[in-house]
Amino acid sequence: MPLASIAMYVTSKPLADATAELWSFLRRYLSQAGLTDLPKTLDRTVAYDEAWLRPDLLLSQTCGYPFARRLRGKVRLVATPVYDYPGCDGPLMRSFIIVRTESPLRSLEDLRGTTAAINSPDSNSGSNLFRAAVAPLAREGRFFGRIIETGSHGGSIAAVAEGRADSAAIDCVTYENVRRFDPGHLEGVRIIAETVKGPGLPFITSGDASDERVLLLRGALAAAVKDPSLVATRATLGLVDFAVLSEADYESLLSLTGEALPQLRA
């Protein structure tokens, strides 16, 4: 049975439930198109990043930076979601740089020598775009005094709110999801800057997938953003469309890395 794992934005129950409803629709569409032996539910046992290179992968969602850096040529792009959230621009998205509400820090320059939280070095929104934001301010390849790794955007928000870090970069989709469904987690933080935009988190399938399968998956996603039965589901997810981008569209994220790599070192 092929693997379906959509695990990037499921941190609260409304989001997890809506994502499950999205998969139910996609499964019906794909089944009616002739695909058989499809999983009834999304896999919740495989780590999100372990799913990406599974040979039995049917559908998953990855971060743009690991796609550009190590997944290109090993998986196939299906489509990139378009979210109707502040900070999003079609399939492009940015991160919001946050500090504690009571912090005296007011600008990127004020972050020099302080402690920054990142969710993962492999994250586009939490690390790569953050690097690009502070790169022009670096001196001899250094800017922050210390870097801590939290493992998630939620962990980075908590680290800032609790004073374990002075700043973090949170992708605009995560930020809006937290504001809508877990607003208490943002009570102790505020935004001081925005990063540049880059292509968002693409849906992918296995690298040996046929053109026919890719087109079928794109058709299913296109139908999901139009079907009236998913109005509430789309509203919960903030989902308004899917865009088909090329691998070349994601190369810009590697360019950001090349320009800014030293600047996020402690």
Q: Please write the tens of the pLDDT for every residue from 41-74.
A: 999 999 888 999 999 999 999 999 999 999 999 9
List the Cα angle 56/62/64 in 5-degree steps: 140
Task: Please give the Cα distance from 34 to 216 (Å, whole number).
Answer: 10
pTM of the model: 0.93
* Strands 92-93 and 88-89, bridge-based pairing: antiparallel
Q: What does the pLDDT read at residue 94?
A: 97
Task: Find the helix packing angle between 153-161 and 172-181, rounded to 10°.
Answer: 70
Residue 263 has pLDDT above 50, yes or no: no
pLDDT tier at 142 (50, 70, 90 boundaries)? Answer: confident
Q: Please write the tens of the pLDDT for every residue from 229-249.
A: 999 999 999 999 999 999 999
- Higher-confidence position of 121 and 21: 21
DSSP per-residue codes, 57-80: EEEEE--HHHIIIIIBTTEEEEEE
**Maximum CA pair distance of the chain?**
59
The average pLDDT across 187-203 equals 97
Phi, psi of 143 (to 5 degrees): -140, -60
CA distances from 119 to 32, 60, 263 (A): 40, 20, 17
The average pLDDT across 201-225 equals 97
The average pLDDT across 17-36 equals 97
Task: Please give the Cα distance from 195 to 96 (Å, whole number).
Answer: 6
Q: What does the pLDDT read at residue 262?
A: 43
The average pLDDT across 125-150 equals 91
Q: Please write the tens of the pLDDT for every residue from 202-213.
A: 999 999 999 999
Give me the chain's average pLDDT, please: 94
Query: Which of 178, 21, 6, 163 shows the shortest CA–CA distance to 78?
Result: 6
Specify burial of residue 187 (Cβ count, 10 A radius: 0-12, 13-18, 19+).
exposed
| Contact by Cβ (8 Å): 194, 139 | no
DSSP per-residue codes, 96-115: EEEEETT-S--SSGGGTTSE
pLDDT tier at 257 (50, 70, 90 boundaries)? Answer: low
Q: What does the pLDDT read at residue 261?
A: 41
Q: What Rg value do the Cα atoms of the chain yield, rounded?
A: 19
Task: Please give the Cα distance from 132 to 60 (Å, whole number).
Answer: 27
Q: Catalogue all structural domains in the chain, each as residue range(s) with its CATH number.
A: 3-84+199-254 (3.40.190.10), 89-197 (3.40.190.10)
The average pLDDT across 188-207 equals 97
The average pLDDT across 77-103 equals 97
Q: What does the pLDDT read at residue 143?
A: 92
pLDDT tier at 140 (50, 70, 90 boundaries)? Answer: confident
Task: Please give the Cα distance from 118 to 128 (Å, whole number).
Answer: 10
Q: What does the pLDDT read at residue 259?
A: 45
Residues facing residue 147 across a β-bridge: 116
